[in-house]
Structure 1
Amino acid sequence: MTKLFPVVPVGLPSVRRSLSPEVEPVLREISIGAGLAVVISLTAMGYDTIPLLFLIGAGVGLYYLARMKGFVGTGNFAAVKFAGRREVTFDDIGGQSFAIQELKEALDFIKNHQDIKRLGIRPLKGILLTGPPGTGKTLMAKAAACYTDAAFISSSGSEFIEMYAGVGAQRVRKLFQKARESALRAGKRNALIFIDEIEILGGKRGKTTSHLEYDQTLNQLLVEMDGLKVDDQVRILLVAATNRADMLDPALLRPGRFDRCVKVDLPDKEGRIEILKLHTRNKPLAGDVKLDLIAKETFGFSGAHLESLANEAAILAMREGCREISQRHFNESIDKVMMGGKLDKRPSEAEMERIAVHESGHALLSEIVRPGSVSTLTITPRGEALGYMRQIPEDDTYLYTKDYLENQIAVLLAGALAEEIVLGSRSTGSSGDFEQALRTAETMIRSGMSELGVVCLESLPQDLKHQTLAGIIKKQEERVKAHIAGSKHIISEVVKALLEKEKISGEQFRFILQNKKEMQPEKAAVQGQ
């Protein structure tokens, strides 16, 4: 007679404390092995194990359903360990000296714990790092953890938000719990929680009308920050990063929550030199490499761009079989980082000639308005461009005059006007130039540099705005046409060089320009005789 094994009630697994990533797989394997051994033993003893197998299967299904909904297994945030590799320090971050100094001043409140307690200073609970992408906000958070000897817990704003209500708030609680447990396990008194892209988690409340999951998650974060005290067993500091500070809820930014807002901006020229030195210290550089020249030509590059630039230069040198990285490798890498990789498509001969005329017009006007400004001239398709003229930026400039903006419009219009004067018609390749020229003209109107004076661009009638923009563009068109009409011989010579070599440097362009200018008076003198 077959014995029926007594049924054990199986329900939804209870919410448990999340285990560490190293322990959970071991316990799972032990549980599976023990369960199989029990089932095999009961089967050998003559028990009917089919109901047991059915219940076990149902329990496993409910477990994974609860795991998908976030009730089980959530909160396994990454506790970064630096064992086996060097910790990130502030010395590894270049181009952000002011931001590092401001951050260190805030972190000193945590390091000097006894002085804080004696003077009755409220501890800093949060530091917000704002700035464009790639400027080193995550590196600064890791360096802050090293500076304060704190356990470092990393997460992202997207990890907290799901479609199931209550999951985000639970994950916030588990994040702070994880930080305390990690610090105690490592024998540290400080813990640093880093949340990247906090605008996802801390956006302004009331925007989402479908459900209140976003608001509940943010409310839980505010509650956890309010609960931080100076005499806690583990002192927790919350560091968050965002490039959209305008999206954050005001309750998150008030004093007592994020007490410091550190601006991590794009590096200036000296900062770019410092970053390039950091990213080239492990690379063999040739004697012709000039980091100050590279830094000058990379205005607007972030630290991530500069790291990619050095890496691409090393890849190009390896592809050519060179043992050292030369200046030409860096020049090529600047084009690749700015414009993208070279394309396989090959325009026809007529299109190549038109592209050469277009880019020669840009270069001619650029050299007229600012001598020595042309860096590279090419008709090689790269990224979204069929050709391009790259300028050498002036010293880092943050304010622009009316003359500067008018010169920029003239350079942008010169490509299309060169096509019209030399070839007799324009092409669709100038649409991007026209868009930039119109945006620059709008900047002039907004800054009170037009004939309208100081106006509000948003409340300006559309017909009046259109007339003013057209007037600014028309004035520069007439100026450019006069220059190009008298320099067709120069454009013709530059086009020949581009069709032959596909790429010429600024020095080669200026050599052609100078030779043609010297030959023109001699030709005029011969005709006069």
Structure 2
Amino acid sequence: MIKEWIVGVAIAVLVFLAVLGYNVLPLFFLAAISVALWYMLDRRGAVSVAPREAMVKHQVSFDQIGGQEHAKRELMEALDFLKYRDRIRSLGIRPLKGILLTGPPGTGKTLMAKAAATYTDSVFLSAAGSEFVEMYVGVGAQRVRELFRRARALAKKEGKDSAIIFIDEIDVLGARRGQHSHQEYDQTLNQLLTEMDGMSTTQTPMVLVMAATNRPDMLDAALLRPGRFDRQIKVDLPDKEGRLHILRIQTQGKPLAADVDLEHIAGETYGFSGAQLESLVNEAAIMALRQNKQEITQEMFRDAVDKVLMGEKTGRKPTPEELQRVAVHELGHAIVSELMRPGTVSHITIAPRGNALGFVRQIPESDRYLYTKEQLEQQINVALAGCLAEELHYGNRSTGAQNDFMQASSLARTMVRCGLSRIGIVDEENLPETVLDTEVRHILSEQEKVTRALLAPYKEDIAAFASHVVEEESVDGDAFRRWLEGVHARKAQPEANAACAAALAPDGGRMVPGTEGLQAGA
């Protein structure tokens, strides 16, 4: 509004001077140059002192955030200091100045900050840490001052006694001082520290600073001390119950088929963040749209999980021989996984996605945070099974096992560092690299023998089912388990016949001493 008013007055003055007979051409050129210069500096960020903060109008409540029950409770307890201010003041409790949300990307830190504003009925302003950092000296500090001033002004304008400023990716703004080539970063951080201390501010309206980062180790120690960011709340990846809660929230209003089992999907998506689960549901709906279906089926969710994990299907077209080898490789993984942990194979596919020509997706038995030596060895067995299945069938290996070897080596190194190897407890920092490599090779060699022994009985059967996988391109876990049970039943039949014949033989099938030659001769 002010800009339009200034432009209108300037035009009126030029017209008035022209009517009086003055030569306004130099003034016109001067005004044009000034406007161009102002526009250039504004684009570079040197004129605007306030960051492009966003005032959120849409209300987000904690009920709309799934999978973070512990973090939500902890945050709501901290926000009660702001919500019930009179009671807090009567007990002589110092109000909180800042809350830091830490955790992996996509876990809902920004949503929790918006919900905090709704919970406390506060004005909410958000800005990114990178918006405070400029090449012009003093601009960052001035932007911090302007952001706090604007938060208080908006709170007074709307009749509220509190405001929440949310700074995303604060590690850009609050990194340890002295690490940069110039002092602009430090000046900006110093100004933020001053504002949070309240040295030049009033208590009404109160301003609470919330920030988010996935790199809390990079933050300056002065920013993390009590009186600045008083509370640090971990917003971690959701567990199975949390993933199920998120899926129920994300699928509200979407037409789901009768066969959709959200609990099964929650079990398959171990390690998924809230953002990935939202993308999963969205991708499944897109598949329904592409197939002109009115409902989203379980198979669409299965394919959506593959897409979120591995990426879109690529245009690569392997030769029939390569497809057969990939199928043999993946069946090796699946057989050992099923033998080690029954019921864990969810999906086998040889459709190229991302950098993978095929993969086996497994359902974890449960969300694990600790692993025993036996469990790590089982994971190594599964990783090595692909190349060993190729070796049993073809007599050689291929380059397709490169990532498997990297995974197996990483697991073996974890065993050594955690004291689960032959050399016992070690000091990781002082462990010679040669000793580590020798023990890793020993672990991999021993588990290779175990894996080869597990796969040997299935040498002939793998080839036949691999052809079926090539024809179908994808096989679900239930179909694979039915095939594996059939193989076990077929192999158990001769053993059962032999046992039955032995039971019907004289003397219970036991050989009478001294009669071996007679029976052989007969």
From 444, 456, 467, the equivalent of 2:415 is 444
The structural deviation recorded for 1:524 is: 7.5
Deviates more, 1:406-415 or 1:422-431: 422-431
Q: Which amino acid aligns with 2:134?
A: E
Q: Which residue of 2 aligns with 1:146?
A: 118
1:434 aligns with 2:435: no
Kindly provide the amino acid, as one letter, of the partner of residue 461 in structure 1: P
- 1:522 Cα deviation from its structure 2 partner: 4.3
* Partner-residue secondary structure (3-state), 1:258: coil
In structure 1, the residue corresponding to 2:166 is in which secondary structure?
strand
Q: Does 1:391 align with 2:362?
A: yes
User: Which residue among 8, 14, 17 is the counterpart of 1:39?
Assistant: 14
CA distance in 2, matches of 1:249, 1:231: 25
Query: Of 220, 230, 244, which aligns to 1:273?
Result: 244
CA distance in structure 1 between the aligned counterparts of 2:344 and 2:461, rounded to whole angstroms: 17
Aligned to 2:151: 179
Once the two structures are TM-superposed, the CA of residue 120 in structure 1 deviates from its matched residue by 2.1
Aligned to 2:136: 164
Asked whether the 8 Å contact 2:106–2:275 carries over to 1, the reply is yes
Give the counterpart of 2:288 among 307, 317, 333.
317
Q: Give 2:106's aligned residue.
A: 134
Determine the C-alpha separation between the residues in 1 that align with 2:230 and 2:450: 53
- For residues 452 and 205 of structure 1, the distance between their equivalents in structure 2, rounded to whole angstroms, comes to 42
For residues 70 and 493 of structure 2, the distance between their equivalents in structure 1, rounded to whole angstroms, comes to 57
Which among 64, 67, 71 is matched to residue 39 of structure 2? 64
Contact 2:56–2:125 (Cα < 8 Å) also in 1: no
- Of residues 239, 250, 262, the one that matches 2:221 is 250
TM-score normalised by the chain length of structure 1: 0.91
Distance 1:233 1:77 in 2: 24
* Correspondent of 2:455 among 471, 484, 499: 484
Distance 1:411 1:243 in 2: 32
User: In 1, Cα distance between the equivalents of 2:86 and 2:92?
Assistant: 10
Corresponding position: 1:285 with 2:260:
no
- Contact 2:326 2:358 (8 Å CA) reproduced: yes
Quote how far apart the aligned CAs of 1:205 are: 1.1
Please give the alpha-carbon distance, in whole angstroms, between the structure 1 residues aligned to 2:474 and 2:41.
61
Write out per-residue CA displacement over residues 248-267 of structure 1, whole angstroms, 9 at most, x where no aligned residue.
Answer: 11110100000111111111
Contact 2:195 2:201 (C-alpha < 8 Å) held by counterparts? no
Percent of residue pairs bearing the same amino acid type: 53
Is residue 406 from structure 1 mapped to residue 377 from structure 2 by the alignment? yes
AA aligned to 1:177 is: R
Residues 309-359 of structure 1, C-alpha deviations (whole Å, 9 max, x = no match): 111111111221221211111111111111111112111111111111110
Tell me the amino acid that sits aligned with residue 223 of structure 2.
Answer: L
Post-superposition Cα deviations, 1:425-482, rounded to whole Å, max 9, x if no partner, equal 2111111111111111111011100111111233222221111000000001111111
Alpha-carbon deviation of 1:65?
4.9
**Which amino acid in structure 2 is aligned with residue 240 of structure 1?**
A
Give secondary structure in 2 for the equivalent of 1:238: strand
Structure with greater proportional helix content? 2
Counterpart for residue 273 of structure 2: 302
What is the CA distance between 1:214 and its match in structure 2? 1.1
**Separation in 2, partners of 1:329, 1:72:** 51
Query: Partner residue of 2:508?
Result: none
Aligned to 2:316: 345
Q: Assess, with a 3 A threshold, how the Cα gap between structure 1 residues 479 and 81 changes in structure 2: closer, same or farther.
A: closer
What residue is the counterpart of 2:430 in the other structure?
459
- Which letter maps to 1:256? G
| CA–CA distance in structure 2, aligned partners of residues 416 and 511 of structure 1 | 24
Matched, 1:501 2:472: yes
Output the amino acid matched with 1:287. A
The C-alpha deviation readout for 1:279-321, integer Å capped at 9, x for no partner, is: 1111111221111111111111111111111111111112212
Q: Which residue of 1 aligns with 2:210?
A: 239
Give 1:161 deviation, angstroms.
0.8
Q: Does 2:308 correspond to 1:333?
A: no
Q: Distance in 1 between matches of 2:454 and 2:258?
A: 40
Letter in 1 for 2:427: C
Q: What residue is the counterpart of 1:53 in the other structure?
A: 28
C-alpha distance 522-101 of structure 1, shift in aligned 2 (>3 A): closer
User: Is contact 2:46–2:136 with CA below 8 Å preserved after alignment?
Assistant: no
Out of 83, 88, 91, the residue aligned to residue 119 of structure 1 is 91
- Counterpart-to-counterpart distance in 2, 1:212 and 1:135: 33
CA shift in 2, pair 1:404/1:145, >3 Å:
same
Deviations 1:484-519 (A, max 9, x none): 222112211220111110110111111111112222
The answer to whether the Cα contact below 8 Å between 1:286 and 1:325 also exists between their aligned partners in 2 is yes
Conserved in 2, the CA contact under 8 Å of 1:309 and 1:337?
yes
Amino acid at match of 2:287: L
Look up the equivalent residue of 1:141 and give its one-letter code: A
Equivalent AA in structure 2 for residue 155 of structure 1: A
Find the counterpart in structure 1 of residue 505 from structure 2. none
For the structure 1 residues 120 and 502, does the alpha-carbon distance in structure 2 shift closer, same or farther, using more than 3 Å as the test? Answer: same
Equivalent residue pairs, number: 500
Secondary structure at the aligned position of 2:247 is classed as: helix
In the alignment, which residue of structure 2 is the partner of 1:365? 336
The DSSP-based 3-state class of the residue aligned with 1:486 is: helix
Decide whether the 8 Å contact of 1:229 with 1:235 is kept in 2: no
TM-aligned CA deviation for residue 68 of structure 1: 4.8
Matches of 2:497 and 2:223 in 1, distance apart?
Answer: 78
Cα distance change, pair 193–228 in 1 and its aligned pair in 2 (3 A): farther
1:200 and 2:175 matched = no
Q: What is the CA-CA distance between 1:61 and the residue it aligns to?
A: 4.0
Q: 5+ residue gaps in structure 2?
A: 502-522
Partner of residue 49, structure 2: 74
Q: Distance in 1 between matches of 2:237 and 2:160?
A: 34
Corresponding residue of 2:515:
none
Larger mean CA deviation between 479-488 and 128-137 belongs to: 479-488
